[in-house]
Amino acid sequence: MAKKYQNFINGRWCDAIDGETFENRNPADRDDLIGIFPKSNKKDVDEAVKAAREAFKEWRLVPAPQRGQIMKKIGDLMVQRKEQIAREMTREMGKVFTETMGDTQEGIDTAYYADGESRRFFAPSVPSELPNKVAMTTRQPMGVAGVICPWNFPMAIPTWKIFPALTCGNAVVFKPASDVPATGTALVEILLDGGVPPKAINLVHGTGSTVGSPLVEHPDVDVISFTGSSVVGRKIAEACGRDLKRISLELGGKNGQIVMDDANLELAIDGALWGAFGTTGQRCTATSRLIVQEDVHDQFVDMLLERTKKLKLGYGNNEGVDVGPVINEGQRKIIHNYVQIGQKEGARMLCGGQYATDGDLAKGYFYKPTIFTDVTSEMCIAQEEIFGPVVVVIKVKSFDEAISVLNDTAYGLSSSVYTNDVNRAFRAMRDIEAGITYINGPTIGAEAHLPFGGVKDTGNGHREGGWTAYEIFSEWKTLYVDFSGKLQRAQIDNQ
């Protein structure tokens, strides 16, 4: 019997009001049914927002360090349940166990950071221009936060949004991706066990159109935080723009790794493999372009091919597996379609390019790690986000050309440069158009306490992670206190 899951709305576990459900299956083994989940709609969202609004009245008045204590407890519970969460996460979305352990650890780091941040919330006091008058600022919660999350980091990304939102004093309505509802449920259980007031966290399962859209359009939601594709992000931003609603967007990437002739090639290969094929290439920070200087190009490609061929595909909970399945059949078709486009465009496919179906792999959505060479920057496979185990190699003559190819994309999330020349490293840090630049490290692996986000079509200027996430979920308020006992007119009486 498949486990039956529920929403959590208004302080209780419940089915979708209309009673509809959907199934979720293990992407490495379609026969493995993870559970039956409520397929919610606008009615459920309305109930959830109403409950959150109610909870906000009291939660906003709880001292921030007390909210931080709850975050600390949540972090401790995540430590206790880490392995169990990771096993189930691998079963639910496919990436290998070491990576789901890392995903959970990112949530733990975010929880402990939230505890610390709850005692800071720095807000400057500055001198007033008038005598006997004080000028200061404070940070206030916004109200109800709508949190819409992707499936590739089913624990880390929700924590990046929910923990700062709650720590700031907001109440939350959370929609996990419909490919990872069990991990979303595990997180909400931890929040409740940690002591978050039940109505302050609401969980609504379902799709983007039936749950995400009503949440975005709800007049009583004050801030939306979304991670997903740039296409969907643009639509959400349009809807929020009409309502003047704050929105934080974390969208696509087409991240490049530059490899210069002076680089340590072994190190650059380690980075490329991890960046391109870790999480089966399904990270918004994944390395999807390798921009290689011509003198080392052929050697680099030979080394990359040799190492790629050795990668072992399989169920991520089994020992020795390097690469798991992709998330679902729809994504696998999209990836394969891009591979066919690449071949038509004249790129040379060195390996992969096919569904992997040997033995047990036939039960899941496996795709062979794929490398293209002879790629030019204007090709579709060098421009569009593929979100799968496909990497393209672009040959360049010089460092300047490498930077201009790296910047020749609509996106600007992560980037990396392998070089041992300190001058090149600093020029890259200055001239690359991206939110994150790594020197001698892969494009993936951002740490929870630093700003995370990108420029151009990757987002709308906000940064998750670290202290910057707290900007998203709070409003500045300016306070003036005049203790002179008389009317003092700014800009007039002091001139």
Which residues of the shown chain bind ligand UN1 in the complex (CB under 6 A)? 106, 152-153, 227, 283-285, 444-446
For ligand UN1, give the closer residue by CB, 399 or 452.
Answer: 452
Find the catalytic residue in 284, 351, 464, 475: 284
329 is catalytic: no
In the complex, what is the shortest distance from the CB of residue 223 to ligand UN1, in angstroms, rounded to a whole number?
Answer: 19
Find the catalytic residue in 250, 384, 385, 433: 250
**What are 68's two structure tokens?**
């931080």
Cα-Cα-Cα-Cα torsion 287, 291, 296, 298, nearest 10 degrees, comes to 80
For ligand UN1, give the closer residue by CB, 56 or 387.
Answer: 387
Residue 123: what residue type?
Answer: A
For ligand UN1, give the closer residue by CB, 109 or 115.
Answer: 109
Gyration radius of the chain over CA positions: 24
CA distance linking residue 238 with residue 246, whole number of Å: 11
CA distance linking residue 164 with residue 223, whole number of Å: 13
In the complex, what is the shortest distance from the CB of residue 252 to ligand UN1, in angstroms, rounded to a whole number?
Answer: 10
Kindly write down the DSSP assignment for every residue of 5-36, as one continuous string: P-EEETTEEE--TT--EEEEEETTEEEEEEEE
In the complex, what is the shortest distance from the CB of residue 92 to ligand UN1, in angstroms, rounded to a whole number?
Answer: 17
284 is catalytic: yes
In the complex, what is the shortest distance from the CB of residue 421 to ligand UN1, in angstroms, rounded to a whole number?
Answer: 25
For ligand UN1, give the closer residue by CB, 8 or 153.
Answer: 153
For ligand UN1, give the closer residue by CB, 102 or 364.
Answer: 102
How far, CA to CA in Å, does 483 sit from each of 55, 128, 138, 221? 36, 12, 19, 38
CA distance linking residue 368 with residue 436, whole number of Å: 28
Residue 198 CB burial class (10 angstroms; 0-12, 13-18, ≥19): middle
Going by C-alpha positions, the residue among 455, 39, 93, 10 that lies closest to residue 282 is 93
**What are 441's two structure tokens?**
């490290």
In the complex, what is the shortest distance from the CB of residue 444 to ligand UN1, in angstroms, rounded to a whole number?
Answer: 3
Catalytic residues: 250, 284
